[in-house]
Amino acid sequence: MKITKDMNITEVVQKFPDTLPVFMYAGMGCVGCMAAQFENIEQGAMAHGIDVDALVDALNEIINAPDLTEENLTAE
């Protein structure tokens, strides 16, 4: 699955909890606010002066990263 700028912010965070730090680091600390329930990623990014394409790229990078589990780290 790929995250797109027209996806709802709250739905993205609920489906992919690992994206929360990306939103926070980008300056979208209001992920839990009422507006996040109705805004898509593009609308939220524009309201905060954030480059939406860079944000979406970072979000997709996180959800497509390999899991860092102990099993994966110790596998040879």
Domains and their CATH numbers in the chain: 9-64 (1.10.3910.10)
CA angle, corner 10, sides to 6 and 13, nearest 5?
100
Each residue's pLDDT tens digit, 20-47: 999 999 988 777 777 778 899 999 999 9
**% of the chain beyond a pLDDT of 90:** 66
pLDDT, residue 33, reads: 76
Buried b (16+ CB within 10 A) or exposed e, 19-49: bbebbeebebebbeeeebeebbbbbbbeeee
Q: What is the chain's length?
A: 76
Q: Which residues pair with 8 in a beta bridge?
A: 40
The pair of three-digit structure tokens given for residue 67, joined into one six-digit string = 């899991």
pLDDT, residue 36, reads: 76
| Average pLDDT of the residues of the chain | 86
